[in-house]
Amino acid sequence: MLAIDGGDPIRRSPWPTYDKGAVHVHPDDEEAAIRAIRSHLYFRYDYRPEQETECGRFEAELCDYFGTRHALAVSSGTTAIALSIMAAGIPPGSLIACQGFTFVASPSAITLAGCRPLLVEVDQNLQLDVEDLRRRWSPEVKAILVVHMRGFAADMEAITRFATEVGVPVFEDAVPAMGAELHGRKLGTFGLAGAFSTQSDKSLNCGEGGFLVTDDSTLFARAVVLSGAYEGRVRRHFPDGLPPIGTDLDLPLLSFRMDEIRAALLRSELARLPSRLELFRRNYAYVSGELADVPGIRIRRPVEPGACLGEAFIFRVGGGLAEWFARALCCEGIDARNLGSGADTNVRVFWNWRFLFGDRTVPEIKALLPATSRYLEDAVDVPLSSSLTLEDCDHLIAAVRKIASRVGP
């Protein structure tokens, strides 16, 4: 009998997630942070040359990792996105296209940059729908913010082709996807700039933080100033020449900097990132492979095999049963959410972003993106921590099979 109907659950121990402390932090990482604390040098711009600071070293290591010309460590993923948009000179008031399935931070970052989100449908695999983007296009749209949501690579080939056709830049919200690749290229390096978070559950985790990567030196210099590099400190980021901007008071300084303690922790974690990515990959491949043929569920498909981080297992269940399926999984001891549940104000679904819609009702808002609404209402989302053991994965597999057998084909 299903646990939701009073049967025995598949597991009784909590499903490992970051908010219960299931994070990938090694004693070496703790030591690195403690060394930074003991140094008493917490501000990134002190008397030391850039290459001797934790932030400066972290940025150099990010450039090596991504193969980009520049990297800037900042205070969050949201500020990394907003800084990219502002530093690219997108005029305030412009529309920026953005998908209707993303964390609320994406439209919030557009708003923070003084612009307005133009929401676009996602397809059945919850990816930005380029044909819908084409239908909604207007000359007021000055950029595209594409999100590699829940670690799944967006179709960057189709999106960059369209962006080139209409002549606007693409920004990547690669916050949930650090380390994932598409066609052998790291997500975050396809657009004009890529933004990442180092908040609690990301590939690198220091509680709060983020960074952006770009090859565009002017965008980078402007982002450095905007992030709060005052009184000529932007020059430290250009040791081989002058920054390609006017004075650093042509722009507001917003104090979105990173600090030395977090940068020290992140540097240590970055050194071990490949082993963490391998765990994500192993767990995702195992779970999705074992559940591939289960009748009644449709697993979210990546745009090419392996083009996802593996931090989330998402599938759709038809017949209005997704909310029940997610609750049944929780009863079996697996954390799961129906993304479009009416009983849960999930910030990843557009109809809950009330700040964009004034007095409109939820049905009115859902009617703006009917396909996205339907797909999210059918979607079940299970977090896959890199700390999951194969036994944990077996519990998930058994629980999905057990519940799906009641749903039928």
Ligand X SMILES: Cc1ncc(COP(=O)(O)O)c(C=O)c1O
Helices 273-291 and 390-407 sit at what angle, rounded to 10 degrees? 30
CB nearer to ligand X: pick between 102 and 127: 102
DSSP secondary structure letters along 34-97: HHHHHHT--SSSSSS-GGGSHHHHHHHHHHHHHT-SEEEEES-HHHHHHHHHHHTTPPTT-EEE
Residue 274 CA to residue 204 CA, distance in Å, equals 11
Beta bridge partners of 313: 382
- CA quadruple 340, 345, 348, 350: dihedral sign: positive
Which stretches of the chain bind ligand X, using CB under 6 A?
76-78, 102-103, 105-106, 147, 149, 173, 175-176, 197, 199, 210
Q: Minimum distance between the CB of residue 336 and ligand X, rounded to whole angstroms?
A: 18
Instruction: Tell the residue number behind the tokens 């501000």, with chain if given.
Output: 43
Q: Minimum distance between the CB of residue 311 and ligand X, rounded to whole angstroms?
A: 10
SS3 379: strand
Q: Minimum distance between the CB of residue 79 and ligand X, rounded to whole angstroms?
A: 7
Q: Minimum distance between the CB of residue 78 and ligand X, rounded to whole angstroms?
A: 3
Q: Minimum distance between the CB of residue 77 and ligand X, rounded to whole angstroms?
A: 3
Instruction: Provide the CA 158 distance to its chain's centre, in angstroms.
Output: 20
CB nearer to ligand X: pick between 76 and 338: 76
Torsion (CA) 177, 150, 396, 374 in degrees, nearest 10: -160
Residue among 144, 75, 161 at smallest CA distance from 106: 144
Phi, psi of 372 (to 5 degrees): -60, -40
Q: Minimum distance between the CB of residue 105 and ligand X, rounded to whole angstroms?
A: 3
Beta-carbon count within 10 A of 30 CB: 12
